[in-house]
Structure 1
Amino acid sequence: MKIFIDVGHPAHVHLYRNFIKILSKKDVEFLVTARNKDVTISLLQAYNIPFVPVGNPSKGQIEVFKEWILRDIKVYKIAREFDPTYLMGLLNPTIAHSAFLLRKSSIIFNDSEPEAIKFPIADWITTPFVNTVIVPESIRHSYGAKEVRVSSYKELAYLHPNHFKPDFKILSNAGISRGEEFVLIRFVAWKAYHDISEGGFSLEQKLKLVKELSQYATVFVSSELPLPKELEKYRLPIPPQHIHHFLYYASLLVCDSQTMTTEAGVLGTPAIRSNSFVGSRDMGNFIELEREYGLIYNIREPEKVIKKALELIGQPNLKKIWEKKRKKLLNDKIDLTSFMVWFVENYPDSLKEFKENPEIQYRFR
């Protein structure tokens, strides 16, 4: 078996890294192409995943379409030479187009709902060409006969206890002592195509947020954009592959990030998410994590975020309360990596088996 995977974002590396590790030991051959987005390349190198670079992210939201076209051509040429059995990615148009042109099967993961995005272009140019779409059951959009709906999140491909063991020693680089409470704040760049006319904290709001919270707890800041000089002293002093250990032990996450909010939820760390997606058109996983499990808070108004953050910081036994909530979630959800290994190893028979009996997924808790 030969599998081709294209990754364009750090979250994609995490989604597939354990999948690649497990199947590589079974003599499955992989070829990974990668876009130099944020810390994507650093993560691939840290996890010893060989890759072929296929370009850099565009400098603006409009230029992204030119980048897509150029990357489409590069990926197709590389895939044609590799001649894979299956092509995989996360809502990845280059994978879908290459598979379609090569008459190969594509298996795509997607956890972003087109209804939540003002211009869901990636869905429009990807889904029609895809064979199978694996989606969390929490999303409200239906992909019809193409979808495989699983009780999981993409973050459980790498943060499920079967694959992730928190290591407190890693935090020593940040000077954290056991029992010390600290808050992690995460800001994203808002430059992706799906971020057109969307946004999170303004610079003024970032400065106020850090200033207020630092009076009550040790604060660390992680940012996709260069930090303003006023926040440089709060920079998170660990390599990107260790971020989840840091997040696990954090007392609280405050962010405008989508992925890191879900990561905090599945790790049992209280999280407050604030951006323009919050509201009636929000994505199903965030609604579920808040309403069903009480693990996160979705607050659209930045001025209300500080009030909620201070309320949580002052709550005794906060992490113990959240650990009980996390156990409930883990009892309901499956290990996505183990499911994908079974699904791809046995595809397309596994697709037929799943359609006839979706409960088979619960073998992979």
Structure 2
Amino acid sequence: MKIWLDALTPKQLLLFSYTAKKVEEELNVEILLTSRNTEEIERLNRIIPFRAKLIGSYGKNFEEKLILDSKRIIDLYEVVRRFEPDILVAYPNPTASRVAFGLKKKILIFSDTPHADHAHRLSVPLADWLVFSKFLDKNLFYRYILPKFTKIVTYRGVEELAWTKDYFPNDEPIKKIGLNPFEYVVFRPPERYASYYIWDRNNLTKKIIQEIAELDKKVVLFPRYEEDSLLFKSENVIIIDVPVFGLDLEYFSALTISGGGTMAREASLLGVPSFTFFPGKIHINTALAKEGFPIYRFFELEETLKFIEMILKEPEKYRVDTKKLIKDMEDPSVVVKKLFKNNI
């Protein structure tokens, strides 16, 4: 069997890299892992266990997305046609889905972001399988699915388990940056150029960083784009612009803050208090909070700043031992491996 995986974001690249490693080692398959050529992807691609071939780039507005996605379809076609895969594994991904569908290949789609309307509408109707967590309500996906063509596969877990469950703490990266455990905050700005992102959170972000500075803590900023580094630059902000495994910095942080969801979930799975200031509802985060993981969400600036102050005064008090919570959860990469083993 030949399997093609296409990742559009760092989170997707992490999951598919770990999935590719496990599947290649344990099953008799050939793997092609592809992704897009962005600065962040390029950095991550240097330190993951299974590296991707970078093809195409990323549009920041609807016209750019249309033009660059169209070019990427052609570039992917040339690579994928030569590889001759049996199946595509991707997140909701219009470009890869179109190539796979055009080449008459099977399509398996992961999702934990039913709010990403544009990407789902343009890809999920072409899928043979849609895989998502049991923590998510099926009704959130039904509007995208053609029941005659798409089978649903669910598992009890979250995607971030694929690379967090076997993590062993390593404080070398924080020492190199000159940080001490529990004396800094990991910060991830919002995904401002996603098709579904319609909010402006720059002022809120700056106020949060200012509050952390007033509490005499450093901010370790994982920028999504170059302008993030310029927008949120200040004396107490350390910009990560070299390949660094995020879990190392999250584990030893006093708090992890994300404008999206992935880094907040990673940190909470490690037992580190985290919160997201994403304006919409992230259902998977809500489910993790109900399970007992230390992941939080706030809407108002005042309660957000109060929470930050409370955590940073006694960070170790709010850490949670999550070993028992994780024990009964499923790793999605193992779920996919079982599907392939059974020839899905």
Fold conserved between structures, TM > 0.5:
yes
Counterpart residue identity of residue 168, structure 1? D
Q: Is the 8 A contact 1:6 1:33 kept in 2?
A: yes
2: CA distance, partners of 1:198 / 1:149: 31
The aligned amino acid for 1:126 is S
Q: Which runs of 5+ in 1 are unaligned?
A: 349-365
2:230 aligned counterpart, secondary structure: coil
Contact conserved, 1:88 with 1:95, CA < 8 A, in 2?
no
3-state SS of paired residue (1:227): helix
Provide Cα deviations, 1:248-285, integer angstroms capped at 9, x if missing partner.
111111231221111122111111211221xxxx1320
Shift of 1:11: 0.9
Higher mean Cα deviation, 122-131 or 62-71?
A: 62-71
Cα–Cα, structure 1 residues 205 and 148, in superposed 2: closer, same or farther, change >3 Å?
Answer: same
Q: What is the CA–CA distance in structure 2 between the aligned matches of 1:251 and 1:121, rounded to whole Å?
A: 36
1-structure distance, mates of 2:315, 2:182: 13
2:274 alignment counterpart? 271
Percent sequence identity is 23
Residue 214 of structure 2 is matched in structure 1 by: 215
Which residue of 1 is the match for residue 96 of structure 2?
95
Structure 1 position 216, deviation (Å)? 2.4
Provide the residue aligned with 1:34 in structure 2: 35
Corresponding residue SS for 1:6: strand
Q: CA 1:173–1:139 in structure 2 vs 1: closer, same or farther (change >3 Å)?
A: same
Q: Alpha-carbon deviation of 1:39?
A: 1.1
- When structure 1 is superposed on structure 2, of 245-254 and 206-215 the one drifting more is 206-215
Number of the residue aligned with 2:265: 262
Cα offsets for 1:68-117 (capped at 9, x unmatched): 2222232233222211122111112223222222222111111111xx35
The residue number in structure 2 matching 1:124 is: 121
Alpha carbons of structure 1 residues 339 and 231: separation in structure 2 relative to 1, 3 Å: same
Residues 83-92 or 297-306, more deviating: 297-306
**2:159 and 2:331 in contact (8 A); partners too:** no
| Superposed CA offset, 1:210-231 (max 9, x none) | 2222232422231222234742
Q: Over aligned residues, Cα RMSD in angstroms?
A: 2.3
1:61: how far off? 4.0
TM superposition score normalised by structure 2: 0.87
Say which of 183, 186, 189 aligns to 1:184. Answer: 186
Question: In 2 relative to 1, CA 300–54 (structure 1 residues): closer, same or farther, beyond 3 Å?
Answer: same
Q: Secondary structure at the match of 2:122?
A: helix
Structure 2 unaligned spans of 5+: none
Go from structure 1 to structure 2 and tell me whether the alpha carbon gap of 1:71 and 1:234 turns closer, same or farther (over 3 Å shift).
same
Rounded Cα–Cα distance in structure 2 between residues aligned with 1:29 and 1:136: 26
Q: What is the TM-score normalised by the length of structure 1? A: 0.83
Would you say the 8 A contact 1:154–1:336 is kept in 2? yes
Q: Secondary structure of 2:343's partner?
A: coil
Q: Aligned to 1:30, what secondary structure does the other structure show?
A: strand
Question: What is the distance in 1 between the residues matched to 2:130 and 2:233?
Answer: 44
- Which stretch of the first structure deviates more once superposed, 230-239 or 69-78? 230-239
Aligned match of 1:355 = none
1:110 maps to amino acid: S
**Is the 8 Å Cα contact of residues 151 and 334 (structure 1) preserved in structure 2?**
yes
Separation in 1, partners of 2:229, 2:240: 14
Does the CA-based 8 Å contact 1:166-1:248 persist in structure 2? yes
SS at match of 1:231: coil
Shifted more, 265-274 versus 222-231: the winner is 222-231
1:337 has 2:333 as partner: yes
Q: 1:146 aligns with which of 147, 151, 160?
A: 151
Superposed CA offset, 1:295-340 (max 9, x none):
21111223321111111222464254x22xx234303311222222
Q: Partner of 1:74 in structure 2? A: 75
The structure richer in helix per residue is 1
Query: Following the alignment from structure 1 to structure 2, what is the Cα–Cα distance between the partners of residues 37 and 237?
Result: 15
